[in-house]
């Protein structure tokens, strides 16, 4: 199954006999809860989930992780409250950036849900095609999804990320200036993991937030050596935009593993090496 769904396809599925479960994951780095935006208008039937408070754990593999993975029990409870079932497909969307939706796509896939997709272009793509929005909060029946982590591979610590950079292809999904070490607005050290390639996730989408065609994405990633059969890993600042890059790689037909702690975990230990400049180093 494709990892993304168009607004047109979603409209057809919502009108069918067995519509997918809809999750609204509007999120923005550093912003307060986007619940007011959901209350002002969302796709009919969608349930809002807050990434910071409901989909992030209390601690991570390192002391500096800014978005630790949620505990499976807490994550499962949140998904069941939102009506997520194992036998029904799930479609996740956000405000258009795609990062929040991709994070939940990755979490659900990692914990074993068999059918989860991201709405390509998010809510803006839905409204651009004339899709309806509502302020009505749905009363959804309790779901039955029980997470079983491990359905997708995961880099759990910095040592694993460093090893993958040496033997495979490690992509840095952050903005280029952060990779080069010119600026670091969130973490204690600027730069990148030695051996990693700069592949900003925002270059995977068009100006209107839609993913570039699969062929274009495959060509872009192939330039880094990220091709089917290669060992490919991704990291970002805290594991959110990196999930978006893993999603783009999935669209291109390239399986990839996420370093969940990402740069916030790597830089938590000042003894770890840091590369700067435009080259992997």
The total number of residues shown for the chain amounts to: 281
Q: What's the whole-number average pLDDT of the chain?
A: 94
**The token pair that represents 2 in the structure block:** 């494709």
Which DSSP string corresponds to 42-94?
B-TT-EE--HHHHSS-S--SSTT-SSPPPPHHHHHHHHHHTT--TTS-EEEE-
Token pair 């409901």 is found at 54
Distance CA(242)–CA(4), nearest Å, equals 16
Q: Taking 60 as the threshold, does the pLDDT of residue 142 lie above it? A: yes
Is the per-residue pLDDT at 24 higher than 70?
yes
**Nearest-angstrom CA–CA distance, 133 and 206:** 24
DSSP code at position 275: B
DSSP state at residue 223: T
Cβ atoms within 10 Å of 153's Cβ, excluding its own: 14
- Kindly state the percentage of the chain with pLDDT values over 90: 85
Q: Say how far residue 244 (Cα) sits from the centre of its chain.
A: 4
- Dihedrals phi, psi of 275, to nearest 5 degrees: -100, 150
Q: Can you give the residue ranges of every domain in the chain?
A: 4-128, 154-266
Give this prediction's pTM. Answer: 0.95
In this chain, the answer to whether the domains covering 4-128 and 154-266 adopt an identical fold is yes
CA distance 39 to 19: 22
Grade residue 57 by pLDDT with cuts at 50, 70 and 90: confident
CA pair distance 238, 44, nearest whole angstrom: 31
Q: Are 69 and 96 in contact (CB under 8 A)?
A: no
- The pLDDT tens digits for 164-208 are 999 999 999 999 999 999 999 888 899 999 999 999 999 999 999
Q: Which residues does residue 198 pair with via DSSP β-bridges, in sequence order?
A: 172
Confidence of residue 127 (pLDDT cuts 50, 70, 90): very high
Residues with a known catalytic role: 236
**Which fold does the domain 154-266 belong to in CATH?**
Oxidized Rhodanese; domain 1 (3.40.250)
Per-residue pLDDT at 31:
62
Instruction: Indicate the pLDDT class of residue 281, thresholds 50, 70 and 90.
Output: confident
CATH classification for the domain delimited by 4-128, as one of 3.40.50.1100, 3.40.50.12500, 3.40.250.10, 3.40.190.10: 3.40.250.10
> Is residue 119 a contact partner of residue 101, using CB atoms and an 8 Å limit?
yes
pLDDT at residue 136 greater than cutoff 90 = yes
Alpha-carbon Rg of the chain, whole angstroms? 18
- In order of 61, 169, 220, 267, the CA distances from 264 in angstroms are 11, 20, 26, 6
Dmax (CA) for the chain in angstroms is 57
């Amino acid at each position: 199954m494709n990892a993304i769904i168009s607004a047109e396809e979603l409209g057809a599925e919502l009108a069918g006999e067995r519509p997918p479960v809809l999750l609204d994951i509007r999120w923005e780095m550093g912003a307060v809860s986007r619940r007011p935006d959901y209350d002002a208008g969302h796709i009919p039937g969608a349930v809002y989930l807050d990434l910071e408070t409901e989909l992030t754990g209390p601690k991570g593999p390192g002391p500096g992780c800014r978005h630790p993975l949620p505990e499976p029990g807490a994550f499962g409870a949140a998904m069941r409250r939102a009506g997520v079932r194992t036998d029904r497909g799930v479609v996740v969307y956000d405000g258009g950036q795609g990062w929040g939706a991709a994070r939940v796509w990755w979490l659900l896939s990692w914990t074993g849900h068999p059918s989860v997709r991201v709405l390509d272009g998010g809510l803006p793509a839905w409204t651009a095609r004339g899709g309806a929005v509502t302020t009505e909060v749905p009363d959804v029946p309790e779901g039955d999804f029980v997470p079983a982590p491990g359905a997708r591979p995961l880099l759990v610590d910095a040592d694993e990320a460093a090893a993958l950079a040496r033997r495979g292809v490690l992509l840095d999904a952050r903005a280029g200036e952060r990779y080069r070490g010119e600026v670091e607005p969130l973490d204690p050290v600027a730069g990148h993991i030695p051996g990693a390639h700069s592949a900003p996730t925002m270059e995977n989408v068009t100006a209107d937030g839609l993913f570039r065609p699969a062929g274009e994405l495959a060509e872009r990633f192939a330039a880094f050596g990220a091709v089917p059969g290669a060992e490919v890993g991704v990291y970002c600042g805290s594991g959110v935009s990196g999930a978006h890059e893993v999603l783009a790689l999935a669209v291109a037909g390239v399986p990839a593993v996420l370093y969940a702690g990402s740069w916030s975990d790597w830089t938590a230990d000042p003894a770890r090496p840091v590369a700067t400049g435009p080259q992997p180093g």
